[in-house]
Amino acid sequence: HFYKIYNQSPLNILNYKDGKWVVQNSSGQVFEALIFNCLGKQVKTQKLNSGNVMLSTENLNSGHYIVQFKTSEGMRMQKITLH
């Protein structure tokens, strides 16, 4: 599979608000968020609908993670830190 990688895209924006990770999805598409730990192991998968959606990070330990967003149009990755 080949994916376009979007660095700055309206596809999805991940922000930290009030102690929660919120995904702003203005694309109107349902997409998938995959969370990987620092060793590259996938630790969580979540389907996200359009609008502002909370990214589920419960049951994950503190540390650094990579969130990969996938749609039919491409892929974007973003680093997050959980405290």
3-22 pLDDT tens trace: 444 444 545 578 887 778 88
According to the model, what pLDDT value does residue 66 have?
Answer: 93
According to the model, what pLDDT value does residue 12 have?
Answer: 59
- Where does the pLDDT of residue 40 fall: very low under 50, low under 70, confident under 90, or very high at 90 and above? very high
55-74 pLDDT tens trace: 889 899 999 999 998 877 77
- Count the neighbouring beta carbons within 10 Å of the beta carbon of residue 16: 11
Which residues touch 24 (CB under 8 Å, ≥6 apart)?
Answer: 12, 13, 14, 15, 52
Specify which residues 17 forms β-bridges with.
Answer: 20
DSSP string, 7-45: SS-TT-EEEEETTEEEEEE-S---EEEEEEETTS-EEEE
According to the model, what pLDDT value does residue 68 have?
Answer: 92
> Among residues of the chain, what percentage have pLDDT more than 70?
84
